[in-house]
Amino acid sequence: MEVKLELIGQMVSAVNTLHIFPTEEKAAEFLLALSAGIPGCLRAGLCFRGSGAAYGMACGAQCGGCPGARAEPGGPERYSCALPGQDGIRAYPLETPAGVYGYFVLAVGNAAEYGPYEPFMKNLANSLALVLENRRQQRELKEAAESLERRVRERTAELKELAGSLERRVADRTAKLDEANRELEAFSWSVSHDLQAPLRHAGGYADLLAREFQAGLPEKAEHYMAALRDSVRQMGELINDLLQLSRTGRAEMRRSAVDMNEVLRAALDPLLQANAGRRVDWVIAKFPPVSGDEALLKLVWTNLLDNALKFTRKSPAARIEAGFREEGGEFVFFVRDNGVGFDMRYARNLFGVFQRLHPAGEFEGTGIGLANVRRIISRHGGRTWAEAEPEKGAAFYFSLPKNEQGVP
C-alpha cells in the first residue's frame, strides 16, 4: 500500500509550526484537522496527562466520561489515559526527558489502511513531544523572567518607599533635634541671664550691707554674711560650669591636627601661675600628634591637671605625671598623681554630673569637670576611666582613636 508522502510532509511541517500556536488546545485542533486526511484514520488529537477535560480526543469523548480514563490522585479532574491497549486506538506517548507529556492519539477505523503510517506517526509523536517540551520550557522561562521582572519592580518600589520613609524619618528626627537644640540654647540663655541675675543681686546687696554697715555689725552677723557670699559664689560657679558642660555637648567640633604637647602646655601654664607657691614634681611625656578639637582637648587637660593639683595639695612631695601609651588602635593619655586618691568602690559615677568623692569643705569644686571630660572624649570617639587607691593617688585615663589622627 502506498504511503501519501505529501500528507506526511504536511503533518511534519505542521508540527514544526506548532510553536506559533498560543495554546495546546489550538495545536490539538490543528492536528485534528490534519489527521482527518490520514487514510484509515477517523480522528486525531492530543491528550495531555492530567489535563482533565480533553480536547480533540481521538475517541471523541471527554476524559470524565471515558471508560479508558483513570482518575489520578490529586483531584477528580485529573486523568491519565489507559486507552493505548484498546482496539482501534493508537496512543503515541509524547516522551520528554521530564516524563510522558501526554499522548498523540488516533482513532483508527481501518487498521490495514493505517498500518503503513504507523512508523511516521510514532516519529511525529516524538517531534511533537520535542516541540511541546520546547514550548513549555520557553513558557516557563518567560514566566520566570516576567516574575523576576515583577519582583524587581516590586522590590524597587518597596525600596523607594523605604528610602523615602527613611529620608522622611531622618528629616523628622533632624528637625526634632534642631528643635531640642534650640530649646537647650534658650534654656542656657535663660540660665545664664535670668538665674544669675537674682544671684548677683543677693551677692551684691550682701556685700553692700557688709561694706556700709560693717562697723555696727556683730561678729556673728559678719559670719552669716560671709557664708551668704560664699554660697552665692558657689552657686555662680555651678551655673557657669553647667553652662560650660551644655556647651561642650552642643558646640560644633572643629577637628584639626593637634599638637598635644602645646595643648598640655597651654592648659598647664595658667594652673602653674595659680599655684605658684606649690612645689610639684612634674613628669611630662612627649606626646604624639592627634586629631581633634584643640579647644575641647585643652579643656580635658585643664580639668585633669587641675584635679591632680587639687588632690595633691596635702601631699608633702607632690608628683604629677602626664603620659601616654599606644594600645591597639588607640592612644591612651593619662594624668597620674600621688595625692589623696579615692576608693574605687565609689568610683562608679565618677564621670557623672555633680559626682564628688570628697567633702566639699576639704576640696573645692562643682563635680562637673569629669563629666565634661567624658563628654568631650566621647565626642572624639574615645573612652575615659580612672584608677585609684585611697592615700596613694589616682590616675585618670582617656583614649583617642589612632585612625582619627591628622597625621600620616
Partner 1 sequence: MALRPILLAEDDPKDAELTIEALKGSGLANRVVVAADGVEALEYLRREEKYKERKEGYPAVILLDIKMPRMDGIETLRLIRSDPALKALPVVMLTSSREEPDLAKCYAMGVNAYVVKPVDYKDFIDAVKTIGIFWALLNELPPSEG
The site for partner 1 (CB under 8 A) is made up of 188, 192-193, 196-197, 199-201, 203-208, 211, 229, 232-233, 235-236, 243, 247
Q: Which is nearer to partner 1, 185 or 389 (CB)?
A: 185
Distance CA 90, CA 103 (A): 9
Task: Return the exposure string of 179-211: e unless at least 16 CB atoms fall within 10 Å of the residue's CB, then b.
Answer: eeeeeeeeeeeeeeeeebeebeeebeebeeebe
Q: Which is nearer to partner 1, 118 or 207 (CB)?
A: 207
Q: Which is nearer to partner 1, 130 or 239 (CB)?
A: 239
Do the Cβ atoms of 34 and 100 come closer than 8 Å? no
Q: Which is nearer to partner 1, 81 or 299 (CB)?
A: 299
- Upper half-sphere CA count for residue 325 (Cβ side, 13 Å): 6
Amino acid residing at 375: R
Minimum distance from CB of 380 to partner 1 (Å)?
22
Minimum distance from CB of 352 to partner 1 (Å)?
23
Please choose, from the candidates 334, 270, 273, the residue with its C-alpha nearest in 3D space to the C-alpha of residue 302.
Answer: 270
Q: Are strands 330-337 and 393-401 parallel, antiparallel or unpaired?
A: antiparallel
Minimum distance from CB of 236 to partner 1 (Å)?
3
Do the Cβ atoms of 374 and 328 come closer than 8 Å? no
Minimum distance from CB of 186 to partner 1 (Å)?
12
Distance CA 206, CA 228 (A): 7
Q: Which is nearer to partner 1, 123 or 244 (CB)?
A: 244
* DSSP 3-state of 31: helix
Cell of residue 383, nine digits: 573612652
Minimum distance from CB of 182 to partner 1 (Å)?
13
Q: Which is nearer to partner 1, 96 or 188 (CB)?
A: 188
Number of other residues whose CB lies within 10 A of the CB of residue 137: 12
Q: Residue 353: what are its φ and ψ, rounded to 5°?
A: -70, 140
Minimum distance from CB of 362 to partner 1 (Å)?
22
C-alpha distances (whole Å) from 327 to each of 288, 320, 333, 398 are: 13, 22, 10, 12
Q: Which is nearer to partner 1, 61 or 228 (CB)?
A: 228
Minimum distance from CB of 240 to partner 1 (Å)?
8
Cell of residue 41, nine digits: 484514520
Q: Which is nearer to partner 1, 148 or 226 (CB)?
A: 226
Cell of residue 47, nine digits: 491528550
Q: Which is nearer to partner 1, 135 or 247 (CB)?
A: 247
Region of 350 on the Ramachandran plot (φ > 0 left; ψ -120 to 50 alpha; else beta): alpha
Minimum distance from CB of 208 to partner 1 (Å)?
6
Cell of residue 188, nine digits: 542656657
Q: Which is nearer to partner 1, 199 or 217 (CB)?
A: 199
Minimum distance from CB of 206 to partner 1 (Å)?
8
Do the Cβ atoms of 122 and 132 come closer than 8 Å? no
Distance CA 354, CA 370 (A): 9
Minimum distance from CB of 398 to partner 1 (Å)?
25
Number of other residues whose CB lies within 10 A of the CB of residue 369: 21
